[in-house]
Amino acid sequence: MQRVGRGLRDNKGFLLFVGLMCVFRSAVADWNTVPTGSMLPTIVPGDRILVDRLAYDLRLPFTHVSLARLEDPARGDIVVFDSKAADKRLVKRVVGVPGDSVAMNNNRLTINGMALDYGELDGTVSASAAATVAGAESPSYVDKRESLLGAAHAIRLMQRSSGLANFGPVSIPAGYYLALGDNRDKSADSRVIGLVPRDEILGRANRVLLSLDYEDYYLPRADRFMRSLQP
């Protein structure tokens, strides 16, 4: 016990730093690894995203207990949440907020009776699709611009839509949000796990801190360092 006590005294500065860092990550700002492509083309696998934990609530550190509500998630926000339904932490984009009626037909959203606008992006065909030998086969997916009632962002659609391309209309009650992945045909989101309770939402992702290329020996992607996730 004396050795333990002496070790704690000798390293109290380091232990204090670790403790404060844990509190900071729990209550102020955090970073999360994104291992899948459900948010392509906005977030790519290997991105480490910065999460603003004070975007919506001031929470008791290490808990989901809200001490003060600061703001509510808005359409277009990329949120990080601990999903009880999926039993893991997820990153998705808020599409519907409390009071909205949302429907999807062939991957095109309608919110409160208003059909969203969809347009082309520069370089619509993906790099991997462009590498396909000309004339050998069609690109497997296409990137589009979705205007989410004032919040424009990119989405990815398969040339052959999946079974997730249609739903609704869904009326969103108070305290819940409808969240979708930008990679619409390859995302287990509210179409699979249901609406997201507000108290599961941890914060808003605004930027990529750094990115590692899993398919190239985990080398860093310098062009993605500190990249904004806002359109």
How many beta carbons lie within 10 A of that of residue 195, not counting itself? 18
CA–CA distance, 156 with 46 (Å, rounded to integer): 18
- pLDDT beyond 50 at 183: yes
Where residue 131 falls among pLDDT bands split at 50, 70, 90?
Answer: very low
CA–CA distance, 143 with 41 (Å, rounded to integer): 7
pLDDT for 125 equals 39
- The pTM of the full predicted model, rounded to 2 decimals, is 0.85
Q: Is 210 exposed, middle or buried (0-12, 13-18, 19+ CB in 10 A)?
A: middle
Q: Which tens digit of pLDDT belongs to each residue from 197-227?
A: 999 999 999 999 999 999 998 999 999 999 9
Q: Which tens digit of pLDDT belongs to each residue from 80-124?
A: 999 999 999 999 999 999 999 999 999 999 999 999 999 998 654
> Quick one: what percent of the chain has pLDDT higher than 70?
79
Three-state secondary-structure class, residue 164: coil
Q: What is the mean pLDDT of the chain?
A: 86
Active-site entry in 12, 26, 88, 92 = 92
Angstrom CA distances, 102 to 92, 156, 172, stand at: 16, 19, 8
CA–CA distance, 193 with 179 (Å, rounded to integer): 10
Active-site entry in 38, 83, 187, 190 = 38
- pLDDT beyond 70 at 21: no
> Quick one: what percent of the chain has pLDDT higher than 90?
69
- Half-sphere exposure (Cβ direction) of 58: Cα atoms closer than 13 Å: 3
8 A C-beta contact, residue 161 and residue 185? yes
pLDDT for 128 equals 38
Looking at residue 125, the DSSP 8-state letter turns out to be S
CA–CA distance, 80 with 90 (Å, rounded to integer): 6
| Lookup: tokens for 222 | 């310098």
Q: Which tens digit of pLDDT belongs to each residue from 133-168?
A: 333 345 699 999 999 988 899 999 998 878 899 998
Angstrom CA distances, 65 to 25, 69, 116, stand at: 15, 10, 35
| Lookup: tokens for 32 | 């999360």
The verdict on whether 84 is a catalytic residue reads no
The verdict on whether 92 is a catalytic residue reads yes
